[in-house]
Amino acid sequence: MAAPVIGVLALQGDVREHVTALTAAGAQARPVRRPAELDAVDGLVIPGGESTTISKLVDIFELRDPIDKRIAAGMPVYGSCAGMIMLATEVLDGRPDQRGFDGIAMTVRRNAFGRQVDSFEAPVEITGVPGGPLHAVFIRAPWVERVGEGVEVLGTVADGPAAGRIVAVRQHNLLATSFHPELTGDPRLHAYFVDLVRTAP
Ligand code: GLN
């Protein structure tokens, strides 16, 4: 598979930035809003935005079942920020009616870094991404409080008040980051995901 087709869930959030980053990383990227569009992609990105809104729109656009089924069948998915929340099996400080895809066995806390540091930037070293730390941008970001069996921790915050917090994980074909690599013009994290899609069985 030379240039895999990767969809970006285009219900809410920073869709265009992910399309640009995926294209720069060698994928054919396109927005996904309908089940038929989902059928045509090899992998999916769930963008940053607002997980409670994305959760509602997933139902309205009748994408919940089709996405659940594709995930169960092994489709690679990458979730950033709100997308990470959508992939978690457990969400703390969520709204009672928000629902994700039960993809990665982890507990995430919404808006975890606190109001004082609503948004911040930090270098984060990611296992499997060569070339030094990524410049990670966090915007009302979740962190991962617990990971279950089979979940690989790929990155943690190095220092400061949030030192040691888990901000990048992978479980089989599912990848999630608390931060937004689509905002920095560095395609390495997207390249990692494009590779994952390209080599997925
Ligand atoms: N706080 C948002 C949520 O709960 C995530 C923020 C983001 O994606 N930048 O969904």
Spatial separation of the C-alpha atoms in residues 159 and 101, rounded to whole Å: 31
Domain spans in the chain, listed from the N-terminal domain onward: 5-199
User: Residues annotated in the binding site for L-glutamine, as ranges?
Assistant: 49-51, 110, 139-140
Spatial separation of the C-alpha atoms in residues 46 and 20, rounded to whole Å: 14
Instruction: Of 156, 187, 154, 193, give the one whose Cα is nearest residue 170.
Output: 154
Ligand 1 midpoint to CA 29 (Å): 22
Phi, psi of 27 (to 5 degrees): -100, 160
Pocket of ligand 1 (CB under 6 A): 48-51, 81-82, 85, 110-111, 139-140
How confident is the prediction along the chain (201 residues), in pLDDT tens digits per residue? 679 999 999 999 999 999 999 999 999 999 999 999 999 999 999 999 999 999 999 999 999 999 999 999 999 999 999 999 999 999 999 999 999 998 999 999 999 987 556 788 999 999 999 999 999 999 999 999 999 999 999 999 998 888 999 999 999 999 999 999 999 999 999 999 999 999 997
CA angle 81, 87, 88 (to 5 degrees): 95
Beta bridge partners of 175: 78, 170
88 token code pair: 């978690």
76 token code pair: 């690679």
Spatial separation of the C-alpha atoms in residues 94 and 174, rounded to whole Å: 21
Ligand 1 midpoint to CA 13 (Å): 9
**Bridge pairing between strands 152-156 and 166-171:** antiparallel
User: The pTM is what?
Assistant: 0.96
Q: Which CATH architecture has domain 5-199?
A: 3-Layer(aba) Sandwich (3.40)
Question: Which run of H or E residues covers position 22?
Answer: helix 15-24
Q: Are 173 and 75 in contact (CB under 8 A)?
A: yes
CA distance to 118, 133, 190, per residue, from 27 (Å): 32, 23, 9
For 47-115, the three-class secondary structure string (H helix, E strand, C coil) is: CCCCHHHHHHHHHHCCCHHHHHHHHHCCCCEEEECHHHHHHEEEEECCCCCCCCCCCEEEEEECCCCCC
